[in-house]
Amino acid sequence: MAHNPARRGELLDAATDLLAAVGARGLTFRGVDEQAGAPTGTTSNYFRSRDELLRELCDHVFARLAPDPAYVADRLDAPRTRELETTLMHDLIERANADRAGHLALFELRMEASRHPALREVFTARFRANLDAITADHVDGGFPGGPEAACVLYLAMTGLLFEHLTLPGLHADGPEELGALVSGLVERIVPAR
């Protein structure tokens, strides 16, 4: 089994982009090889099965989409208010626009999990860990609203991202309308202090 971490990361990035472009049915070892510009058989040398590729892809996409810790630390120097939460949600939209493929791949992984019980268990655990971390950051960080507000905001932003990335313009014709929609969601979900 090949163990070059840089090559493995390149293959996972290629798989992420391929998954976003063609969906789960088009995610094949040969397709990943082609997307990565790698010789035929490279992906199968790194991943024993398609399910193994998908499981590793889930963790890889979460890592790929995580905000820069230094940037987050800088943002969190401000008081934990609804206004800061609004800023963080606008940042999320900006990151989604910057890595559309990563976010679309995450949605594709959700759909794949809905069809495959073995993957559903692994993906549910990963998404649950993400939601738990978001909730803890919200509550322990002192943002207004508690765990319910964190959960509802997570669900609302997930839906908004899905709409925005899959059917752009359905709810917002441009960045200003999208920004107003994000601000409105936060205002309705997160109480003011």
CA angle 33/166/182 to nearest 5° reads: 125
pLDDT (tens digit per residue) in 134-179: 999 999 999 999 999 999 999 999 999 999 999 987 777 888 999 9
The CATH superfamily assigned to 65-189 is: Tetracycline Repressor, domain 2 (1.10.357.10)
Assess contact for 147 and 189: CB atoms under 8 A.
Answer: no
Which CATH code of 1.10.10.350, 3.30.2320.50, 1.10.10.60, 1.10.3720.10 fits the domain covering 5-62?
Answer: 1.10.10.60
Q: What's the pLDDT at 59? A: 93
